[in-house]
Structure 1
Amino acid sequence: MELPIRSRNRKPTGRQPYHALSAAFVRNVAQAGRYCDGNGLYLDVQPSGTRSWVQRLVIRGRRRELGLGGFPLVPLKDARAQALANRRLARAGGDPLAEKRRIKSMPTFAAAAEAVCAQMRPGWRNPKHGKDWLSSMARFAFPRLGRLPVSEVTTADVVKALRKVWHERPATARRVRQRISTVMEWAMAMDYRNDNPCDRIGPILGPQQDLVQHMRALPHREVASAIETVRASGAVSVVKLAFEFLVLTAARSGEVRGALWAEIDTEEHVWTVPATRTKAKREHRVPLCRRAEQILDAARTLGGGNPLVFPSGRGKQLADMAVSGLLKDLEIGAVPHGFRSSFRDWAAEETNHPREVVEAALAHVVQNKVEAAYARSDLFERRRRLMDDWSAYVGGGAGAPADDRPS
């Protein structure tokens, strides 16, 4: 058998060979030495018969030697592919050795998740959230993803981790998906990967069946009747006022229940919800229609100087069940959040108000660049007209006359 060029004890005499070795030679060679294949790739054969791959490269002006693994674990084909990739990276100014160290230090998904949790923990108001965050990942994500290098997690892996729980426990699945996505975003920021596999799982897993049921909403044509039912009920007055204020402002339940008099400007007819109390963590200005201000007048009389607009009987913030329980007791087939959907459907079906104005009224974070440009102005006066129209539609009366509004 003719031996390929051996580099040991020989000086280079010109251009190196290209693909000089054959698979049969690599498999059978017994004589110790280094055998050149091309692209700086050598088969190193020890007297013991052990064979391994070595590559010589000039990396940023310095001659270096890289180990590419042993044969037969790394076959000739794979060694050539890695050698070519290293050579291209070095010619482009990169450092294959640094890349090798980076891959070697690549954290597993579980380690990455723990790092993300540790970074976010100081910003969580409730210390229990960190425990819940990790326990949900340990239960639903780690069995499938935990031991994988964070760079190797694929869309298929995420789908397999979530498939069973996706329909059995939809709310939990959504939280876990968001947490997996957060880990992937962290990995991208750390240059461990270039994409987020969670971005593509929706069409694969399909729609969840509880979304509509969980946020039950009334057809917009039935909202006025619901308000009349609540007004006529024997429920606690402050709860009835909070409910109607929630409907008229299309605000979230927590924002209404936590509203403070310091946030209300009766001269400018505006309620400013601070960023600390909004879902989007952005200040949200809510225009107040005439009926909303009448509700505030009534609430002020009941409040007795409490800083909360709608305090409970004990002077604390109303519980979430106060409003939702009222609707359940009166057999109104909706949850508080569902009235935001009723408002949105009414605006789309019955009005000519632009979509971006409606989304701004709901304090939604817009994704479209054109809508984002609109959002920078917050469309306040256009939202005021929208909310006045909504108030008139649900029986709260028309907005205040133009001369009563700020210019």
Structure 2
Amino acid sequence: MALTGKLTKKMVENLGPGRHGDGGGLYLVVDPSGARRWIVRVVVKGQRNAKGAPLRTDFGLGGADVVTLHRARERALEYRRMAKQGLNPRFNAAREIPCFEEVARQVHIERMPTWKNAKHGAQWINTLRDYAFPKIGRMPIDSIGQPEVLMCLSPIWTEKHETARRLSQRIKIVLDVAKSKGFRSGENPVTAIHDAQVLPKVKAKPKHHKAMAWQDVPAFYADLSARNAMAAKALMFTCLTGSRTNEVLGMRWDEIGFDARLWTCPAERMKGGDPHRVPLTDEMLAIIEPLKELRSDYVFEGQRRHKPLSNMAMLMLLRRMQVEGVTVHGFRSTFRDWAAEVANVSREVAEMSLAHKVGSDVERAYARSDLLERRRALMEEWSGFVANGGKAVDQLS
């Protein structure tokens, strides 16, 4: 006899956040993030909880992306039958060994709140989806050993080494979680492969963003200053602050303190995950203050109202200017070279100006200052050098 209930396949796929009953104690739980999972609530006959009330217990049946509606109903029915017989399903249900993909997707759901943004979370599961699921996704999690892990890693180990390295980390996490839940035992095969050096050593070539020589920046900046496009203004501001593209393009007016001459970029837009204060010079303020008249939510508004510039806008401007072999991110390296060769400031001041973390965790715990005033002096000198055609300005003390 077919199992039936209130929910349909389409409802399972489309229902919004909340707990949606199918009947017989089976519920579809949809999180605000969109993650979907099954739970069943049963009352165990003849058993009481610590307060003397009938023992009512919820059991997770797995994510709705891997456990079908029909399978969830079957499991719910099995649990209800045991409960009616006075058997607690927690100890008496036949334990099924989940497949690798089931565990991986559950780990992804559980770790969603820990990622800095949705993009990072998507990258985590997409790596497994592209390189692991096709080979080992449907295999029982307890049957995955070194040969199965190597099936995933070997084809991309040298050609896509960084991807393979991340893939190995993510497979290891999934297998570790499975072991903690009692689905596996013994050593993690990823660890064994690493310790035995089964895969060849790959010397990663560092990728550097192509940068403009600091001597050429004043002439380039003068060319930018003659342009009225919003992308030109954003690129001027990026050159002067040494900030990253997404930090500048996402800048809102409430992040700027004009009286304090300070821009505070919030943690969610910073690569390091900490808010970053940028001292604003006269030249920087001269770029952004006229833009207040646009009354946009964003300082550097794009073609759509109250939307920022495209993250490709500044790069495309460089191409139109026929500035070859240079990236927007490269201006951070340009500033860093100038700070070392011309300004001759300490490494800490230069690195903090770029929002880089300096020193060990212990050192940073004690060095609580972000050296704002020393960085302000450095940015004043850099702005003067860039905007005044490379002429010397007051030297740092």
TM-score, normalising length: structure 2: 0.58
Change in CA separation of 1:216 and 1:144 when aligned onto 2, cut-off 3 Å: farther
Instruction: Decide whether aligned partners of structure 1 residues 346 and 398 sit closer, same or farther in structure 2, where only a CA change above 3 A counts.
Output: closer
Within 5 A, what are the aligned runs for 1:21-40?
A: none
Q: Does 1:204 align with 2:201?
A: yes
Cα contact 2:176–2:188 (8 A) shared by 1 = no
Residue 380 of structure 1 corresponds to which residue in structure 2? 372
Comparing 218-227 and 187-196, the one that deviates more: 187-196
Match status 1:248 vs 2:240: yes
In structure 2, what is the equivalent of residue 136 of structure 1? 127
1:346-383 deviations in Å (ceiling 9; x for gaps): 22333432222222222224452464146521221122
- Which residue in 2 is equivalent to 1:87? none
Aligned to 1:335: 327
Q: Is the counterpart of residue 359 in structure 1 residue 346 in structure 2?
A: no
Give the deviation of 1:331 after TM superposition.
2.1
- The CA distance in 2 between the partners of 1:126 and 1:172, in whole Å, is 19
Which residue of 2 is the match for residue 217 of structure 1?
A: 211
Instruction: Give the corresponding residue for 1:346.
Output: 338
Contact preservation (8 Å) 1:262, 1:307: no
> Does the 8 A contact of 1:290 with 1:398 survive in 2?
no
Conserved in 2, the CA contact under 8 Å of 1:109 and 1:148? yes
Q: Does the CA contact (< 8 Å) of 2:141 and 2:178 recur in 1?
A: no
Structural mapping, 1:203-282, within 5 Å? 204-208=201-205, 211-212=207-208, 215-232=209-226, 234=227, 236-282=228-274
Alpha-carbon distance in structure 2 between the residues aligned to 1:345 and 1:148: 53
Q: Which residue, out of 275, 279, 301, partners 1:283?
A: 275
Aligned counterpart for 1:305 among listed residues 288, 295, 309: 295
| Contact 2:97/2:140 (8 A) holds in 1 | no
SS at match of 2:387: coil
Structure 1 residues 145 and 337, CA gap change in structure 2 (3 angstroms): farther
Q: What are the residue-to-residue correspondences of 1:51-62 with 2, within 5 Å?
A: none
Distance 1:309 1:203, change over 3 A: farther
Q: Is the 8 A contact 2:247 2:265 kept in 1?
A: yes
The answer (yes or no) to whether the contact 1:360–1:375 under 8 Å persists in 2 is: no
Contact 1:257 1:318 in 2 (8 A): yes
CA RMSD after TM alignment = 4.4
Distance 1:346-1:400 versus aligned 2 partners, 3 A rule:
closer
Q: Distance in 2 between matches of 1:184 and 1:354?
A: 45
- Amino acid in structure 2 at the alignment position of 1:230: L
Query: How many Å separate the matches in 2 of 1:370 and 1:286?
Result: 24
Alpha carbons of 1:158 and 1:393: their partners in 2 closer, same or farther (altered >3 Å)?
farther
Counterpart-to-counterpart distance in 2, 1:241 and 1:158 = 50
Conserved 8 A contact 1:238-1:310: yes
Indicate how the Cα distance of structure 1 residues 116 and 351 shifts in structure 2: closer, same or farther if over 3 A, else same. farther
Output the CA distance in 1 between the equivalents of 2:156 and 2:345.
39
Cα separation, partners in 2 of 1:182 and 1:261, compared to 1, 3 Å: farther
Amino acid at match of 2:203: G
* 1:314 equivalent in structure 2: 304
Identity rate of aligned residues, in percent? 37
Query: Under a length normalisation based on structure 1, what TM-score does the superposition of the two structures give?
Result: 0.57
Report the residue type matching 2:248 in the other structure.
Answer: V
For the 8 Å contact 1:259–1:308, the answer to whether it is kept is yes
Asked if 2 retains the 8 angstrom alpha-carbon contact of 1:253 and 1:337, the reply is: yes
Contact 1:260 1:307 (8 Å CA) reproduced: yes
Equivalent pair of 1:185/1:196 in contact (CA under 8 Å): no
Change (3 A) 1:153 1:125: same
Rate the CA distance shift 1:382–1:194 in 2: closer, same or farther, 3 A: farther
Query: What displacement does 1:273 show?
Result: 0.9
CA contact (8 A) 2:145 2:189 kept: no
Query: The residue matched to 2:312 in structure 1 has which SS?
Result: helix
Change (3 A) 1:139 1:314: closer
CA distance in 2, matches of 1:242, 1:163: 44
Decide whether aligned partners of structure 1 residues 380 and 105 sit closer, same or farther in structure 2, where only a CA change above 3 A counts: farther
The verdict on how the C-alpha distance between 1:116 and 1:385 changes in structure 2, with shifts beyond 3 A counting, is farther
User: In 2, distance between residues paired with 1:338 and 1:220?
Assistant: 11
Other structure's SS at 1:314 match: coil
Tell me which amino acid in the other structure corresponds to 1:326. L
Counterparts of 1:138-157 in structure 2, within 5 Å, are 138-141=129-132
- Conserved? CA contact 1:114–1:134, under 8 Å: yes
Equivalent residue number for residue 105 of structure 2: 114
The separation in 1 between residues aligned to 2:189 and 2:367, in whole angstroms, is 28
Q: Which runs of 5+ in 2 are unaligned?
A: 1-94
Q: How many residues align?
A: 291
Structure 2 CA distance for aligned equivalents of residues 380 and 153 of structure 1: 52
Structure 2 vs 1, CA of residues 238 and 164 (structure 1 numbering), >3 Å: closer, same or farther? Answer: same
